[in-house]
Amino acid sequence: MSITFLGDVCLDINVVRGEPRDEIGGGVYHGAVTARGLDVPARVITKAPADQRRHFQAIEAAGASVTWLDSPACTSIRNDYPSENPDDRISRVVSMAQPFSAAELEGLRAEALHVNPLWMGMVPPELLAVLRPAVGLLGADAQGFLRRVAPDGSAAHTPWPEAGEHLHHLDLLKVDIVEARTLTGLDDRHDAAAALLELGVGTVLLTHQQGVLAARGAERCERDWGSWTLEGRTGRGDTCTAAFLVGLLRGNSMPEALGLAARVTTAKMQYRGPYRGDVPPSAAPIR
């Protein structure tokens, strides 16, 4: 059992209560470190210039393998949190890595692959159809297909009218409440999850301020977060997704996998940086 994470790593500038702090970011970083914290082999396929890869040594230090592809620049994003609501985030892209191409991913095989780019175009949507026959379980994070970058670096979620042409390839789609609303136009998370399932997605994992919802077919289950800090917000969804995937790959039921994901994510949201492996998987609450 192993998980491969595909996307760009990031040099984050996170501004909480007006205080900026440089951090390592990117869904593939948080996802791989979480998987390793749960004793699951992890691989990262990502891009960065050779002289910037030293910033991401924590990925390999956690025990994940990394396949580096060349890029003239590394992705860097400034995230401002203007309120105490962790879903209220303003992002501005400082620089972007070069997008992945089909030729670069030729020959890729994986038991489970989670596609987690940071902006629209890093992994062109058409690649989902190319990747589908090469993997056992295919997941993706909606952020990388909704976050569009303007010439001035401002980034915002924008509607994706072609979503139905691509999302049906996915066994798992991770969205937060803002992304779910952007994709479906629906404010209620249950209605939004149902609409996404109607597009052909196998399972929807939806995070929000209070907790996380999983939906598959007619089955629904939810778990609340425990206490959390705004400083620990960055990486919330990536941690949750990785832990959920670990649960599913271990053969757990969807409620069991969601219980693990909620507990692990709550632990991670107590501090900046990735999950530290400080919650035993067997302690996951099942409610």
What's the domain range around 239? 3-274
For residue 121, what is the domain's CATH number?
3.40.1190.20
Task: Read off the pLDDT of residues 119-157 as tens digits, 9 standing for 90 and up.
Answer: 999 999 999 999 999 999 999 999 999 999 999 988 889
List the 19-25 sheet strands across, edge first.
Answer: 19-25, 10-16, 75-81, 90-95, 154-157, 147-149
Residue 23 maps to a domain? yes
Residue 285 maps to a domain? no
pLDDT value, residue 282 = 54
171-185, 234-248, 270-284 — which is least confidently predicted? 270-284
pLDDT value, residue 280 = 58
233: confidence class by pLDDT, cuts 50, 70, 90: confident
| Number of other CB atoms surrounding residue 61 within 10 Å | 10
Nearest C-alpha neighbor of 250 from the set 91, 50, 40: 40
Residue 282 maps to a domain? no
The count of domains in the chain is 1
Residue 244 maps to a domain? yes
Distances (CA, A) of 188 to 10, 32, 90, 195: 31, 31, 22, 11
pTM comes to 0.92
Residue 158 maps to a domain? yes
pLDDT value, residue 185 = 97
pLDDT value, residue 278 = 87
Mean pLDDT of the chain: 93
Using the CB atoms, write b or e for 17-45: b if 16+ within 10 Å: eeeeeebbbbbbbbbbbbbbbbebebbbb
Query: Residue 160 above 60 pLDDT?
Result: yes
Beta-strand relationship, 75-81 and 90-95: antiparallel
Residue 287 maps to a domain? no
pLDDT value, residue 287 = 36
Query: Residue 283 above 60 pLDDT?
Result: no
Query: Residue 284 above 60 pLDDT?
Result: no
Residue 206 maps to a domain? yes
Residue 252 maps to a domain? yes
